[in-house]
């Protein structure tokens, strides 16, 4: 969260960010970046970078070059925050999630989450975000990243579909665990098809209670998800699952 705001919803890594990752690079070591926006207003946390514009790609190249010069490897962690960031971070747009259930407490801007419940994404919007995840993965490769990690954890958008205390949908993206895993699986497949499965990982947190996430049966449900991931065709199977 040290990047520079270029324009509303577009934040670009700066020299301080280059120094940060260079300092932590070691020969043969793998770094994961901070969570990074996949498109404008996907999150827009203050100071958090994106990886979807030409200026962001050019800035990230300085980071990846610095890491590679020390013999290190680096993956870009790509996210959409869903209901975890407020309308004020999205030019006033209503926040979105799997359903209309708000978090408790306040967002970083001090506004009550319950006063502004999220809007459930439409199926077409889910498909569009999936495509944008793949596009951000492509841009990350253009920026010199060795791969990407899909952020499917910690109460952000994909986990808002996985946890059954949040996802109350009645369509093909809600209800059963088979349906609740559909969005994350489709994002995995899209990113693998776009940049190659050996360059894609995913982060999951089945026992996460951050940002009001809780599941009725995390052992059974995440076992199903992991079996589903492991059974994907080799060209769509991520290189790792980060728990």
Mean pLDDT of 83-93: 96
Fold of 4-242: TIM Barrel (3.20.20)
Q: What's the start-to-end Cα distance of the chain, in Å?
A: 23
Instruction: Give catalytic status of residue 156 as yes or no.
Output: yes
- State pLDDT tens for residues 135-168: 999 999 999 999 999 999 999 999 999 999 999 9
Sign of the alpha-carbon torsion through 36, 126, 191, 141 = negative
User: Which are the contacts of 89, defined by CB distance < 8 A and separation ≥ 6?
Assistant: 41, 43, 44, 45, 46, 107, 108, 109
Distance CA 188, CA 173 (A): 15
- Could you report the per-residue pLDDT of 191-206, keeping only the tens digit for each? 999 999 999 999 999 9
pLDDT in tens, 221-243: 999 999 999 999 999 999 999 99
Asked if 14 and 3 touch (Cβ cutoff 8 Å), the reply is yes
Which of the residues 156, 173, 209, 224 is marked catalytic? 156
CA angle 133, 25, 49 (to 5 degrees): 35
State residue 219 phi and psi, 5-degree precision.
-60, -55
Percent of the chain with pLDDT over 90: 99
Radius of gyration of the chain (CA): 17
pLDDT at 74 over 90: yes
Band (208; pLDDT cuts 50, 70, 90): confident
pLDDT at residue 209, as a whole number? 87
As a whole number of angstroms, the distance between CA 235 and CA 196 comes to 7
Q: What are the pLDDT digits (tens) for 114-133?
A: 999 999 999 999 999 999 99
Q: Exposed, middle or buried: residue 83 (CB in 10 Å: 0-12, 13-18, 19+)? A: buried
**Average pLDDT along the chain:** 97
In this prediction, residue 191 carries a pLDDT of 98
């Amino acid at each position: 969260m040290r990047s520079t705001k270029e324009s509303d919803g577009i934040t670009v890594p700066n020299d301080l960010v280059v120094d940060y990752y260079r300092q932590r690079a070691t020969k043969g070591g793998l770094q994961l970046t901070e969570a990074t926006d996949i498109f404008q207003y996907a999150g827009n946390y203050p100071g958090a970078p994106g990886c979807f514009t030409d200026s962001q790609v050019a800035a990230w190249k300085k980071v990846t070059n610095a890491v590679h010069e020390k013999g290190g490897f680096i993956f870009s962690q790509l996210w959409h925050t869903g209901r975890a960031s407020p309308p004020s971070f999205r030019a006033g747009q209503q926040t979105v999630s799997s359903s209309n259930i708000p978090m408790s407490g306040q967002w970083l801007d001090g506004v009550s989450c319950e006063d502004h419940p999220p809007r459930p994404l439409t199926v077409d919007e889910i498909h569009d975000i999936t495509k944008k995840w793949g596009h951000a993965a492509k841009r990350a490769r253009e920026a010199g990243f060795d791969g990407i990690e899909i952020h499917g954890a910690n109460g952000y958008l994909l986990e808002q579909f996985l946890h059954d205390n949040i996802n109350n949908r009645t369509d093909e993206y809600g209800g059963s665990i088979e349906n609740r895993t559909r969005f994350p699986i489709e994002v995995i497949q899209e990113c693998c098809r776009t940049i190659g499965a050996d360059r894609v990982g995913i982060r999951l947190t089945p026992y996460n209670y951050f940002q009001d996430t809780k599941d009725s049966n995390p052992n059974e449900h995440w076992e199903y998800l992991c079996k589903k991931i492991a059974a994907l065709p080799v060209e769509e199977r991520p290189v790792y699952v980060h728990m």
